Amino acid sequence: MIRRTSCLLMLTTSLASCGKAVSDKDVHWLSVADAQQAIATPSGSWLSEPKQNVWVDPRNSAFYNVGHIPGAINVQLSDPDGIGRLEPFGTIIVYGEGYQSPIADAMIKALITEGHEEVKGLELGYDGWIAAGQPLAKGSDPGRISTSTTTDRWQRVRVEQD
C-alpha cells in the first residue's frame, strides 16, 4: 500500500511539473517587419482596455547605453525588479545582439514562466535591426533601477540570521 501510494505521488508530481516547463517550442521569433507591426498594434480584446506593446533589451546596460531600439526597456535577467516593470504592457518583444540571441531566448522563457502570455523575439536581434536600416536610440533607461550586485536574481533573497 505504501509503495503504491509513493508511486502515485511520484507520478502526480511528475505530471504536474510537465505543464510548467517552457521549451524552445514556446519561443516565437519575428522578422523586423513583423515585430514592428506587432509593436504598433495595441494588445487586448474588445472586452479589455488596449495595452501598449514594448521592446525589451536584456543586454548589459553598457550595450543598451551605446545603442538600442527606440522605446526599448532595459530589463536584465539578474534584475530582481525588472520583470515587474513589464506588467502594464501587452505584447513584449525581446531582442539580443544577433540571430536568436541566447540572452533573448532566456528572457523570453523567463517572461513566459512569470505568466506573460504574449512574448516574442526579434529573430535577427539588434544586429538585424541595424542591417535593416532602422533608427537607433542611445543613452540609459530612465526607469531602470541599478542594482548593487551582479548575482542572479534568484540568489538575492535576504536571509535573516538569529
Domain ranges of the chain: 28-140
Task: Give the Cα separation of 54 and 36 in Å (integer).
Answer: 10
The pLDDT value recorded for residue 118 is 92
Strands (E) across 24-78 are located at 29-30, 54-57, 73-74
Q: Is the pLDDT of residue 156 over 90?
A: no
For residue 22, report the phi and psi dihedrals to the nearest 5 degrees.
-110, 125
Q: Is the pLDDT of residue 5 over 50?
A: no
The pLDDT value recorded for residue 92 is 95
The pLDDT value recorded for residue 125 is 96
The pLDDT value recorded for residue 74 is 95
Greater confidence, 82 or 67?
67
The pLDDT value recorded for residue 148 is 44
The pLDDT value recorded for residue 98 is 92
**How is the beta sheet containing 54-57 ordered, strand by strand?**
29-30, 119-122, 92-94, 54-57, 73-74
Query: For 111-152, what is each residue's pLDDT tens digit?
Result: 999 888 899 999 999 999 999 999 999 998 888 765 544 444
Fold of 28-140: Oxidized Rhodanese; domain 1 (3.40.250)
Residue 47's pLDDT band (cuts 50, 70, 90)? confident
Task: Give the Cα separation of 129 and 126 in Å (integer).
Answer: 5
The pLDDT value recorded for residue 55 is 96
The pLDDT value recorded for residue 45 is 66
The pLDDT value recorded for residue 71 is 94
The pLDDT value recorded for residue 162 is 53
Task: Give the Cα separation of 105 and 119 in Å (integer).
Answer: 10
Task: Give the Cα separation of 33 and 134 in Å (integer).
Answer: 10
Q: Would you tell me how many other CB atoms lie within 10 Å of the CB of residue 26?
A: 12
For the full predicted model, state whether its pTM sits above 0.85: no
The pLDDT value recorded for residue 160 is 59
* Cβ contacts of 96 within 8 Å, gap of 6 or more: 58, 59, 102, 103, 104, 105, 107, 125, 126
The pLDDT value recorded for residue 25 is 87
Q: Which of 89, 125, 85, 87 is nearest to 105 (CA)?
A: 125
